[in-house]
Amino acid sequence: MKEKVTSLQVAERAGVSQSAVSRVFTPGASVSKRTAEKVRVAAAELGYRPNVLARAMVSGKSRIIGLVVAYLENYFYPSALEKLSNALQEQGYHVLVFMASQTAGNIDDVMEEILDYQVDGIVLASVALSSDITSRCQAAGVPVVLFNRSQDIDHISAVTSDNVAGGRKLAEFLVEGRHRRFGYIAGWEGASTQRDREAGFRAGLAAAGQDLFARGVGDFTVDGAKDAARRMFDRPEDARPDCVFVANDHMAIAVMDVLRFELGLSVPEDVSVVGFDDVPPASWAAYDLTTVRQRANLMVAETVTTLMENIENPGMVEPRKVAIDGPLVVRGSARIPTNRTRTG
């Protein structure tokens, strides 16, 4: 068995000090370009790999961020989380991904495991969190930032879209399109994104003297959305909505498939459909979905900034709730009012 190459051997091969080798492989450490090049060449020749865990034990910093994800079926998450991982890596951090369900009990189990890894920070992507585990994170000095989800816990920072404003924009758009029977298919009832999008939609309708005609629940799943669409639209014309806001694009696409291919309805002639997220398939000709865009780049930037501030200044940064406004993207899945034009 080949013996493990040490940093001292690399230093001797490169003609530098052992501390110089350590600085080369420490993110953010100061080292000249010439020294770094010599060390990396020597390391490659010898097959040296730095011991990240050992360095973490010495420094007290693992340079690891725990990223908890509930599900990846929604197109929004693979893209957004790739951006988030890349942004954290640019800051010199490794990302450790944990999968979990949406329930707080399951997340608490996962969080216990994450804390065992001595992570420097945690990002929770659309998952719930109990007050008990947040207290444990605080006691351990591990900052937590919620991504695309918020909670009524004062000492936790959260970065979301402005879901209330987005829901209101969709209500205004459908009212301007002279719709009269408004449907809504909700996501998972425990999610702040679901709650806020529906609240904004209802507020926009109320401002125009309207109310929901029908409501279903899709739980942010394809099968749930299809079942909700069948129950809502498999009925006579005057007993079904003439438009529907589906709480995210992932479900809206499934709803459109049911309307057109199972129930024989035309979109938007018989039913206007709008969603939320602006995932890549929303712009495909097959769907051409009117939706509110989540500005993932800005959400990621705010999340990373918030997390880095808390890591670098423990206990000194006030928690913040950031809600980023997203534009309405007008396409062909809904009747376009005379005062509007396509924007996507």
Lookup: tokens for 15:
């003609």
> What are residue 159's DSSP bridge partners?
147, 322
Three-state SS annotation for 77-107: HHHHHHHHHHHHHHCCCEEEEEECCCCHHHH
> Residue 53: its pLDDT value, please?
57
Lookup: tokens for 320:
């913040």
> What are residue 243's DSSP bridge partners?
182, 272
Altogether, the residues listed in the chain come to a count of 344
Lookup: tokens for 240:
């079904």
- CATH architecture group of domain 163-294: 3-Layer(aba) Sandwich (3.40)
Q: Is 182 left (phi over 0), alpha (psi -120 to 50) or beta?
A: beta
| Residues whose CB is less than 8 angstroms from the CB of residue 120 and which lie 6 or more positions away in sequence, other chains included | 61, 62, 63, 64, 65, 93, 142, 311
Tell me how far apart the alpha carbons of residues 299 and 288 are, in angstroms, rounded to a whole number: 24
> Residue 51: its pLDDT value, please?
66
Dihedral sign from CA coordinates of 125, 129, 133, 137 = positive
Angle between helices 131-140 and 104-116 (to 10 degrees): 10
Amino acid at 288: D
Q: Do the domains 62-161+295-324 and 163-294 sit in the same CATH topology, yes or no? A: yes
> Residue 131: its pLDDT value, please?
67
Q: Is 186 left (phi over 0), alpha (psi -120 to 50) or beta?
A: beta
Closest CA to 48 of 17, 9, 88: 9
Helix (H, G, I), strand (E, B) or coil at 160: strand
CATH number of the domain at 62-161+295-324, out of 3.30.420.10, 3.40.630.30, 3.40.50.2300, 2.120.10.30?
A: 3.40.50.2300
Closest CA to 247 of 316, 211, 195, 309: 195
Q: Which residue do the tokens 């057109």 mark?
A: 260
Closest CA to 212 of 221, 223, 203: 203
As averages over each run of 10 residues, the pLDDT of the chain (344 residues) reads 77 90 78 90 86 56 85 87 92 87 66 83 80 76 90 86 98 98 95 95 98 97 97 97 98 98 98 97 97 97 96 88 97 96 92
> Residue 106: its pLDDT value, please?
67
Domain ranges, ordered by start, for the chain: 7-50, 62-161+295-324, 163-294
> Residue 1: its pLDDT value, please?
46
Lookup: tokens for 123:
């990002």
> Residue 200: its pLDDT value, please?
98
Residue 341: other Cβ atoms inside 10 A: 8
